[in-house]
Structure 1
Amino acid sequence: MHTFSLNSSPTLFAKNLNSIHEDESCNYPIFLHQPTGKSQRFSLFLITCCLIVLGVLIPLNSGNKETAHYALAASPQTSSSIHPLQHSTLEPMRHDDDTLAALTIYFEAKGESFAGKLAVAAVIRNRMIHHFHSDGTVRGTVLRPKQFEPWITRNPDDIPFNPSNTKMQESLMAWKLVQDGRKVVNGAVLFYNPDIVKSPRWAQVHRKVAKIGGHEFFHTERI
């Protein structure tokens, strides 16, 4: 005869339940004693309740483990998935877009005529339009890593815009003038000054479209 107590632990209780079998000499399961009538029905009722409780607790426990595993898998992405601009410390809060563009033109075309400033302004605008090393915004264009020399070593937040500075005023004016879509450098998106820097590799493969002042300008089209 198999015996067990209803006060046993759930695990032991479950094991004992599995050992219940039908006795060949009777028509009901063998328990602690041979139940009859009300005692039999009461025992069956208690067993049913325990089975229901076990049936609820086991799935809940399993579900908690699955939830914990999912939370771990859904943890935040590593920095390698972040847009390159977000790694840069050069994200100025001090200047608006027009001022930031003007400062870029001021440093890139320093010593150039107004036409030279207008050409650099057009390059920035063309990059934004064609998403050439750009996300379509001023900040996402001029602050793109290793694209515009002024911000490779400088932080725009450290540089004030001086309205009384004629060259800065011209740079801002040049930027505002190219907003109407005027073609200044035949759609150029690249430029460099051969008197200052060594000819970059891209200058050997991209089509040269203009030379204004000390700068040579190139299109995205290859030779």
Structure 2
Amino acid sequence: MKKLKKLVISAGLILSMSAFTLNGTTEAATTHKVQSGETFWKIAVKYGVPVKSLLTANHKTGSLLYPGENLVIPNSSVTAAEKDLMARLVHAEAKGEPYAGKVAVATVILNRVASPDFPNTISGVIYDKENGHYAFTPVMNGAIKQPADAASKKAVNEALAFRGQGSGSLFFYNPKTAVSKWVATRQVTVKIGNHVFAK
């Protein structure tokens, strides 16, 4: 009987481990039991998946949820390492900025990944270098190597939940410190704190 228990536990652990290392690229799908007061938005932010994907995975067309209902959380297309890299960039770029500004910085990264004008991976966007210049100052000065704070990590998950919505910002800058005159010619989408976001 003990051998059978060990075999069952071992098999369960192997299945659990394989779910988290599937292709080594994405986080595994899981389920979530809806608690009173939760919304699709809150659940999407918690897991860092787009609201649209969460709705689709659960064959939902509206926002109605019932406490106790089990939802399928779809696989994330963004790895834990990519989330960490984004959070470190957000932390370095938006330190001292309002939380909404942190989310907007993370959204710029995701918008660039989706744009044909930029690299199509998160690391490609973050480490992008043109004409000898990095796209993001924290990559150049090494600030990206600092660990992210909790707010920056949450901002990344919120940007992922918001993915595919919004005004399509591809750039952000501080008009007081920006040296590029070109970026000021872009269409402004929103101003948050000291940053101007544009496309």
* TM-score normalised per structure 1: 0.47
The alpha-carbon deviation at position 131 of structure 1 amounts to 3.5
CA contact (8 A) 1:112 1:213 kept: yes
Deviation at 1:197, TM superposition (A): 2.3
Q: Which amino acid counterpart does residue 154 of structure 1 have in structure 2?
A: G
Among candidates 111, 115, 128, match of residue 96 of structure 2: 111
Name the larger-Rg structure.
Answer: 1
Q: Does 1:169 align with 2:150?
A: yes
Distance in 2 separating the partners of 1:160 and 1:216: 24
Runs of 5+ in structure 2 lacking a partner?
1-79
Percent of residue pairs bearing the same amino acid type:
30
Q: Given the superposition, is the C-alpha separation of residues 208 and 148 from structure 1 closer, same or farther in structure 2, using an over 3 Å criterion?
A: same
Q: Select 1:183's aligned residue among 165, 172, 177.
A: 165
Moved over 3 A (4+): none
Aligned length: 115
Does 1:139 pair with 2:127? no
- For residues 107 and 175 of structure 2, the distance between their equivalents in structure 1, rounded to whole angstroms, comes to 19
Q: Which residue of 1 aligns with 2:194?
A: 214
One-letter amino acid of the structure 2 residue matched with residue 197 of structure 1: A
Q: Note if contact 1:208-1:216 (Cα within 8 Å) is conserved in structure 2.
A: yes
Instruction: Tell me the equivalent position of 2:23.
Output: none
Alignment correspondent of 2:182: 201
Cα deviation, 1:65-119, whole Å, max 9, x if unaligned, reads: xxxxxxxxxxxxxxxxxxxxxxxxxxxxxx8111110000011111101101011
User: 1:99 aligned to 2:84?
Assistant: yes
Give SS of 1:101's match. helix
| 1:126–1:188 contact (8 Å) kept in structure 2 | yes
CA distance in 2, matches of 1:203, 1:218: 9
Q: Answer whether contact 1:132 1:189 (CA < 8 A) is retained.
A: no
Kindly state the Cα deviation for residue 179 of structure 1 after the two structures are TM-superposed: 1.3
Paired residue for 2:136?
148
- The 3-state SS of whatever aligns with 1:100 is helix
Displacement after TM superposition at 1:161 (Å): 2.2
SS, match of residue 211 in structure 1: strand
Against the structure 1 CA distance between its residues 118 and 198, is the aligned structure 2 distance closer, same or farther, given a 3 Å change threshold? same
Letter aligned with residue 178 of structure 2: V
- Shift of residue 160, structure 1, vs aligned partner: 4.6
Equivalent residue letter for 1:111? G
Q: Partners in 1 of 2:143 and 2:101 — Cα distance?
A: 24
Hey, what's the Cα distance between the residues in 2 that align with 1:117 and 1:182?
17
Change (3 A) 1:155 1:114: closer
Task: Give the secondary-structure state (helix, strand or coil) at the position aligned to 2:165.
Answer: coil
Q: Letter of the 1:183 partner, please give it.
A: Q
Using structure 2 for the length normalisation, give the TM-score.
0.53
Distance 1:199 1:209, change over 3 A: same
